[in-house]
Amino acid sequence: MQHFQLFIDGAFCEGATSQTMTTQNPATGQDWATFACASAQDVDRAVGAAKRALDDPAWRGLSQTARGKLLYKLADLIEANAEHLGRIETTDSGKLLAETATQTRYVGDYYRYYAGLADKIEGAVLPIDKPDMHVFTRREPIGVVAAVVPWNAQMFLTATKLGPALAAGCTVVLKASEVAPAPMLEFARLIAEAGFPAGVVSVITGDAEGCAIPLTRHPDVDRIAFTGGPETARHVIRNSAENFAVTSLELGGKSPIIVFEDADLDGAANGLIAGNFGASGQSCVAGSRGLIHRPILKALIERIAEKAAGIVVGDPLDGTTHIGPLCTKAQVAKIGDTLAKARSQGATIHFGGAPLERDGNYMAPTLVECADPDTETLKVEMFGPVMSLLPFDTEEEAIALANHSDFGLGSGVFTRDLARAHRVSSRLRSGICWVNTYRAISPIAPFGGFNQSGYGREAGAEAVLDYTRTKTVWINTSEQPMANPFVMR
């Protein structure tokens, strides 16, 4: 089996305790690789290297433009190795190669975007209300960043943290999920090849006790950028009380897609399929609460069923496959339990509803029609290809149903009425709203949520400022020495 090592302080290595874990190929259910696990000692070494690199002239002494050039080089390497990284990610997580390779290739543009911003991080001269004072601000790197990334969109969710952090001049310890970490550990080779000085980026993985907890509570960590589930996020926040690290959270979702009766049915059906069956439903912005204007519910279900009949579930390395396996068996079991409860609540399953009888973690694409907003499939984030539809009668009801959630990450609106699109999107409590489309991303557009979907934003120009601290500099320009020391000036 292939073996993947940790990347600490510019070198590949085993963990201090020699602990390893095995990862399975979700398409076959068979072990395919092993990887080294970090212990608290390894975490301390990675954070120590990051702290040292902050003050090392090899990194600190680089101009902002030179940092940008390193990011441009990394972007080119990612693009050139997109197919290779995509195959590893597909083998390790079960995501379609068509998506992993394409997404990895596009991720290069995130690094290029932040490369271009590296020398646009500016301070300001303040029109201060004091005579004989020249006062200005400057943006300085916030320090050592702990970037914690889940398995389901690794290259994308790494880029939204690593790109702005490096552009700002920070150093980063990247913690990959212990579920399917292989692509992140392989990605470290490109970081080394790009020429980043030792210690600027380390890539580690491991369990909570040995790796995640020591990292997020480490006294030398200045910022935590976390993507994952709400329950884990609560532990991260508690850990950050030990170091007062600035923390941003990009968490889960239970996103609504509202389809009004004037919507293009074909476009709406495609939007719902993209939002629920795209990435096999393993997406934090999955639009798993379809809210449908009652007059078109039956016609839309028929259109979705017609399209779903042509969906190919199979080998994620096969270019003709639309839905691959789920990453873990636990997801399949959770979906089964959730669907069973939904049935007991009176929900109707129009197609799917069961795992496929084959090797691997395969779940049939499933459509559930719900009569009640408290149906279990409308409440639980399942991370699988399950679409739930609920009818509504008025615009006000649709908005109320959409906002009836603890989450607030993504949302969608399908309508031909431009005024309605503006009106409804402005009232949805979500960080992202797609109108007549779904699941579109860009390095230019901020990404993040409300409520239990977290706080802070990733991507966009402002994200780079989240990896800086503002320093205010006062210069006395008077020819006279400083006067009375007992009076605040």
Its sign, for the CA torsion 306, 410, 146, 207, is negative
**Tell me: the pLDDT tens digits for 49-91?**
999 999 999 999 999 999 999 999 999 999 999 999 999 999 9
Last residue of a domain, one of 435, 457, 483: 435
Does residue 130 lie within any of the structural domains?
yes
**Tell me: the pLDDT tens digits for 302-352?**
999 999 999 999 999 999 999 999 999 999 999 999 999 999 999 999 999
Residue 47 has pLDDT above 90, yes or no: yes
Does residue 409 lie within any of the structural domains?
yes
**What residues are paired with 249 via a beta bridge?**
226, 455
Asked whether residue 418 falls in the same domain as residue 329, the answer is: yes
Share of the chain above pLDDT 90, in %: 98
Does residue 485 lie within any of the structural domains?
no
Share of the chain above pLDDT 70, in %: 100
Containing structural domain, residue 212: 2-251+449-473
Quick one: pLDDT at residue 489?
81
Asked whether residue 199 falls in the same domain as residue 245, the answer is: yes
Q: Smallest Cα–Cα separation from 72: which of 199, 194, 202, 203?
A: 194
Neighbours of 9 (CB within 10 A): 17
For tokens 């969109």, name the residue: 153
d(Cα 349, Cα 366) in Å, to the nearest integer?
7
Mean pLDDT of 249-263: 97
Q: Smallest Cα–Cα separation from 4: which of 16, 26, 24, 22?
A: 22
Asked whether residue 233 falls in the same domain as residue 261, the answer is: no
pLDDT range class, residue 23, cuts 50, 70, 90: very high
Asked whether residue 412 falls in the same domain as residue 377, the answer is: yes
pTM of the model: 0.96
The residues assigned a catalytic role are 250
What's the chain's average pLDDT? 97
Asked whether residue 275 falls in the same domain as residue 344, the answer is: yes
Quick one: pLDDT at residue 367?
98
- For residue 256 the two structure tokens come to 């609504």
Quick one: pLDDT at residue 426?
98
d(Cα 268, Cα 262) in Å, to the nearest integer?
10
Number of structural domains in the chain: 2
Mean pLDDT of 360-382: 96
- For residue 318 the two structure tokens come to 């096969």
**Tell me: the pLDDT tens digits for 157-172?**
999 999 999 999 999 9
**Tell me: the pLDDT tens digits for 275-306?**
999 999 999 999 999 999 999 999 999 999 99
Quick one: pLDDT at residue 31?
97
The CATH number given to whatever domain includes residue 12 is 3.40.605.10
d(Cα 466, Cα 460) in Å, to the nearest integer?
11
Residue 265 has pLDDT above 90, yes or no: yes
| Phi then psi dihedrals of residue 205, to 5 deg | -150, 170
Does residue 480 lie within any of the structural domains?
no
Does residue 414 lie within any of the structural domains?
yes
pLDDT range class, residue 251, cuts 50, 70, 90: very high
Does residue 478 lie within any of the structural domains?
no
Tell me the C-alpha to C-alpha distance, in Å, between residue 416 and each of 165, 202, 257: 40, 48, 15
Rg (the chain; Cα; Å):
24
* DSSP H/E element including 404: none
Asked whether residue 266 falls in the same domain as residue 404, the answer is: yes
- For residue 106 the two structure tokens come to 């596009």
Residue 177 has pLDDT above 90, yes or no: yes
The CATH number given to whatever domain includes residue 267 is 3.40.309.10
d(Cα 467, Cα 107) in Å, to the nearest integer?
20
- For residue 76 the two structure tokens come to 């080119």
Residue 483 has pLDDT above 90, yes or no: no
Asked whether residue 154 falls in the same domain as residue 32, the answer is: yes
Do 451 and 408 form a contact (C-beta atoms < 8 A)?
Answer: yes
Mean pLDDT of 14-26: 97
Asked whether residue 135 falls in the same domain as residue 274, the answer is: no
**Tell me: the pLDDT tens digits for 440-475?**
999 999 999 999 999 999 999 999 999 999 999 999
Does residue 171 lie within any of the structural domains?
yes
Longest dimension (CA), the chain: 86
